[in-house]
Amino acid sequence: MKTIFQNWLGHGTALVSAVTVSLLLAGCNKPAGDQPGAAGGNIKIGEFASLTGKEATFGISSHEGTVLAIEEINAAGGVLGKKLELLTEDNQSKAGESSTVVNKLISRENVVAMLGEVASSRSLEAAPICQANKIPMISPSSTNPKVTETGDYIFRVCFIDPFQGTVMANFATKTLKAKRVAVLTDVKSDYSKGLAKFFKERFLANGGEIVAELDFNGGDKDFKGQLTAIKGANPDGVFVPGYYTECGLISIQAKQLGLTVPLFGGDGWESEKLFEIGGKAVEGNYLSTHYSPEVGSELSKKFVENYKKRWNGKTPDALAACGYDSALVLADAIKRAGAIDGPKLRDAIAATKSFPAVTGTITINDKRDATKSAVILKIANGKYEYLETVEP
Ligand code: PHE
């Protein structure tokens, strides 16, 4: 089922069909001419997200952060005298769906900009479409370098995996005192393949040894073969640059096989669902990510408070914070551009400098990425415990 989540009328995540949406739009104030993306006097922003499926918590968290930002901006009077209208499409965490929904948001809804995605492979699927249509796209949290390399309309508000891989390689060497590490990669995921590569490069440069390299395919449920081979190589730790569903299962099966060394990975481990899937077996593992609600600026504290109020007491994760920041950066760029046409908006996003955001201060660099610190978290006592912040 194709759905659009309407938020601009203050319905939160009320589910309405595309047909209802056009009716709602038709019933709004008279459109300001036939300017694309400005029907009904609103500025239309597209969002594509994994609201259901294997990585549903990524999409939901990111979406909730984005909605909060849009609602706050609108409550403060909107942008250029108009309200922002968020049109969200679910890609069901499935390959092939992002291109469909992004095409639809551009051609049928005339959005002026696109927010998304979390997973690098899905951002990579949509980016060429946004680029070809001159619709600026801001990924909140895709970390594979190739995403923004797609072209000059594609941006992100997070760090990239050469940094994240370095952070975790140094953590393995210095904190875990690991000399022999095994790597278990999801070969279906651009994120996983990239992060594995960047991790290995730095870990080897640190004088470490990669004692086993094994693969899986996202969606797999049985990792016993790979974990048996890894156990045989007698590592001090296992680097698993995966997403939470597989990481939870891998944690369980590792313990079942008597592989008790720590597992560690990147931001993809972050989800409340990890604890449901992996139970006690995830304890003692580590990850790097973009944000921890336990530390941060006054802005971050305010965000945690407002997010909890808006989303039934839920504590925001890194995905929510990055989603929030992506919408803030876009709104700020629209303001500075004083316009909503693609090239002007692109130039304004590219000119983002020292923008105070929840996950840190955002400056978009010449590669259209943000240079920001990472946090390292330990999985302990049924939650993510903040360990340290690593500056770029
Ligand atoms: N960085 C991951 C990717 O590029 C996505 C992700 C971001 C996952 C933040 C969890 C938290 O695929």
Residue partners of 130: CB distance under 8 A and separation at least 6? 102, 106, 114, 136, 137, 153, 154
Q: Kindly give the distance from the C-alpha atom of residue 380 to the centroid of ligand 1, in angstroms, as a whole number.
A: 21
Q: Name the residue of 60, 61, 124, 143 whose CB sits within 8 Å of the most ligand 1 atoms, as the mutation to test its pocket.
A: 143
Residue partners of 19: CB distance under 8 A and separation at least 6? none
Q: Name the residue of 141, 273, 291, 359 whose CB sits within 8 Å of the most ligand 1 atoms, as the mutation to test its pocket.
A: 141
Ligand 1 atom nearest residue 119's Cα: 12
Q: Kindly give the distance from the C-alpha atom of residue 268 to the centroid of ligand 1, in angstroms, as a whole number.
A: 5
pLDDT tens digits, residue range 49-65?
Answer: 999 999 999 999 999 99
* pTM over 0.85, yes/no: yes
Alpha-helical (H) ranges within 108-160 are 120-132, 146-149
Q: Is the CB of 119 under 6 A from ligand 1?
A: yes
Backbone phi, psi, residue 255, to 5°: -65, -40
Higher pLDDT, 41 or 362: 362
- Residues 68-97 have a mean pLDDT of 98
Q: Is the CB of 268 under 6 A from ligand 1?
A: yes
Ligand 1 atom nearest residue 142's Cα: 4
Query: Exposed/middle/buried for 294, CB within 10 Å: 0-12, 13-18, 19+?
Result: middle
What pLDDT is stored for residue 41 in this prediction? Answer: 87
Query: What percent of the chain is predicted at pLDDT more than 70?
Result: 90
**pLDDT of residue 23 exceeding 70:** no
pLDDT tens digits, residue range 257-293?
Answer: 999 999 999 999 999 999 999 999 999 999 999 999 9
